[in-house]
Structure 1
Amino acid sequence: MSEENISDDELTALFGDDEENDGGDGPPVEDSGGGSSPSEGELIKTHDWGEKRRLSTDQMRTLNDLHDQFAKSYGPALSISMKRQVDIRLSEEPRQTTYGEFVAALPNPTSLNRFVLPPLEGPAAINMDLALALPIIDRMLGGTGDAVEEDEIRSPTQIEERVLQRVLKSLLEALQTSWSKVIDVEPAFTTAESIPYYLQLTQLADDVVVVAEFDVAIRDEFGPILEGAKLSICYPYILLQPITAKLRSGSFASAGGMAINKDLRDSLEKVKVPLYGILVRDRLRMHDMLEMEVGDVLTFRTNLDEASEVVIGKNRVFWARPGVIGRRHALRVEAFINPEQSSPLELTADTNTDEVSPTDVSDEVEQVSSGGSFDVRMQ
């Protein structure tokens, strides 16, 4: 078999295009069209084999629910302190990272507060951007609490740190309430630093921590004052390790939901709502109203046998019979109002078959009666 030399043109024809497309790195990759290679515009998420993970997806979901509830409760508390509308929400789901990466991402200077959560052993940290901390301090000291420019950001003084920690006390209370769905803790501040590297939260920079980050926005009646400020909470994994078995989203949801419903029910029982009865309702021409004088009599086209409406808040709820108890006016509930029922209910003898005579029961509502129609005199 004779040997044949391959020319440069033939080599270029064989490999030139592939080398040009692939940059000359390695052999050409054949596209089989089987869908194994990503199409243009498809998002490919790379897997980092060096990523530090200790908690499962289910456990992280529990922490997400816990801190979402914390954000919803701490926002109103901070609003009361600042007398401004404060919105707090999770920037993203809590993430697992290393302590070194957490510290490296913090601004310098910042407001970094170390706290403990007994009976859990070990410290955690709360970081608040100075762009958020300084307006809060200014507001608490009687200022306007306006946003500060980037070149005006500075480390807080010792007095300002004391003022800020008084404000952050409500933060720990909200955090304690949220954690109570998993474990009862008693959080308390220990130290504060403005330079992140001075706060030694873990022994090694490679130690795993869980970080929950929040976006904070402050508004007044004229519009936004501050937007995009950051608040973050960092938990070392060694702190959470003893309670990993309790970090189950199902148990948190059931226990938390029952507690929330109970708190909501207890709060609603104390709410006062306006309640009033509409005895008559009619239309009046504007001409007649403009000529109305003291002593004029308004006659309504309403029969006393028709029920009165009982309104709670802004909703029509009951049909009721007007009357008196002793020297007080009263309304006796006869039926619920059907949303589709627009005309008053006729209060006949069949409305309440078990009706007791007012003479039989001393506190029974005495029915108001007249000759079938009535007048209302303006005095």
Structure 2
Amino acid sequence: SEVRLFRDMTSPMGGAPKTLLSFADDPMDEEGMDAPEGGSPEETIRVHHPDGAQEDVPASVIHTFTVGKQAALSSTEVHRFKQHNATLIRSLGARLSMFLRTELMMELASLEVIDLGKYATQFPGDRHMILFKIQPFEAIGALDIAKPLSLTIADRMLGGKGFAVNPDRTIREVETAMVDQIGQIALREWANFWKFEEPLRVTMLGHESDPSHIPAAGLDEDFYHLSIEGQIGDC
């Protein structure tokens, strides 16, 4: 279902991974010493089985596992998800064109699975990323708008003609507010596209300039990256 599709897509950027130590009692022995992974066979740990049975086992057979949230969509689901987003993004371009009173062309360029470290390497430098959260999901997302496009859109919203401006200068506070408004419209349109039992609610969390600082379990965490091509004026 699309509910499962969306949950799987957003789950990779959830909270930090959890460390589990089987279903055992406190791994402190009577003398107050830890029973570390791979401990001596003489040390034992009380293990509780799902059927209610209990037994003492050597500490050496108890292992620590890190459980993360990994994206796991089938090729069919990925294709369907890409089709949905392609339709949505074209509609979003029309919606933003009406808001800006000038044509803004938007097309889905690609959908790929990428880890945070690779993304930070491919898109280095000072960026304008809007961090957001979509309730009721746990994931944190990032809307990364290219600086030249951000400045051009802000110029249009401030009464300009929407032509390309100097991309090397710093984004001013008023321009940041304009770009955030566009980001909020885009995210709300995106959230409203999906039909769920509970309506999706978008919350803006702040900004980030370094992709490696996006909240995630680690730089090796995988997530789905939607790349969108946008064109407005000569930008």
TM-score by length of 2: 0.64
Instruction: Verify the 8 A CA contact 2:143 2:183 in the aligned structure 1.
Output: no
1:72 aligned residue: 90
CA offset at residue 205 of structure 1? 0.6
Unaligned runs of 5+ residues in structure 1 are 1-51, 220-224, 227-379
When the two chains are superposed, the root-mean-square deviation of aligned CA atoms in Å is 2.1
Q: 2:101 corresponds to which residue? A: 83
Residue 135 of structure 1 corresponds to: 152
Matched, 1:155 2:170: yes
* C-alpha distance in 1 between matches for 2:140 and 2:71: 20
Q: Is the 8 A contact 2:130 2:183 kept in 1?
A: no
Query: Using the alignment, how far apart are the partners of 1:182 and 1:69 within structure 2?
Result: 22
AA aligned opposite 1:120: F
Cα offset, 1:71, TM superposition: 0.6
Find the residue that maps to 1:206 and give its secondary structure: coil
CA contact (8 A) 1:109 1:154 kept: no
**Where does residue 171 of structure 1 map in the other structure?**
186
Instruction: In structure 2, give the amino acid aligned to 1:206.
Output: D
Structure 2 unaligned blocks of 5 or more: 1-69
Q: Secondary structure at the match of 1:117?
A: strand
Corresponding residue number in structure 2 for 1:211 = 225
The aligned runs of 1:204-243 (5 Å cut-off) are: 204-219=218-233, 225-226=234-235
Q: What amino acid is the match of 2:84?
A: L
User: Would the alpha carbon gap of residues 195 and 53 (structure 1) be closer, same or farther in structure 2, given more than 3 Å must change?
Assistant: closer
CA deviation after TM superposition for structure 1 residue 154, in Å: 3.1
Pick the aligned partner of 2:214 from 159, 183, 200.
200
2:201 match: secondary structure: coil
Cα distance, 1:114 vs. partner?
A: 0.5
Letter in 2 for 1:83: R
Give the counterpart letter for 1:111 in structure 2.
Answer: H
Q: Are the structure 2 counterparts of residues 68 and 82 from structure 1 closer, same or farther at C-alpha, using a change threshold of 3 Å?
A: same
Instruction: Report what 2:76 is aligned to.
Output: 58
Say if 1:138 and 1:153 are closer, same or farther in 2 by CA, change over 3 A: same
Work out the CA distance in 1 between the residues paired with 2:197 and 2:169: 38
Match of 2:18 in 1: none
Q: Give the equivalent residue in structure 2 for 1:108.
A: 125
Matches within 5 A, 1:299-378: none
Question: Conserved in 1, the CA contact under 8 Å of 2:132 and 2:204?
Answer: yes
Query: Residue 116 of structure 2 is aligned with which of 99, 112, 120?
Result: 99
Structure with the bigger RCO (C-alpha within 8 Å, sep 6+) is 2
Shift of 1:77: 1.6
- Inter-partner Cα distance in structure 1 for 2:219 and 2:148: 26
Contact 1:72–1:88 (8 Å) recurs in 2:
yes
Contact (CA 8 Å) 1:86, 1:218: kept in 2 or not? yes
- Kindly provide the amino acid, as one letter, of the partner of residue 231 in structure 2: A
Q: Which amino acid aligns with 1:58?
A: T
CA distance in 2, matches of 1:175, 1:155: 28
State the shift of 1:196 in Å: 2.7
1:182–1:76 distance in 2 versus 1, CA, 3 Å? farther
Matched residues, number? 166
Question: TM-score by structure 1 length?
Answer: 0.41
3-state SS of paired residue (1:91): strand
Amino acid at match of 1:116: K
Contact 2:133/2:202 (<8 A) preserved:
yes
Instruction: Give the letter for the 1:64 counterpart.
Output: K
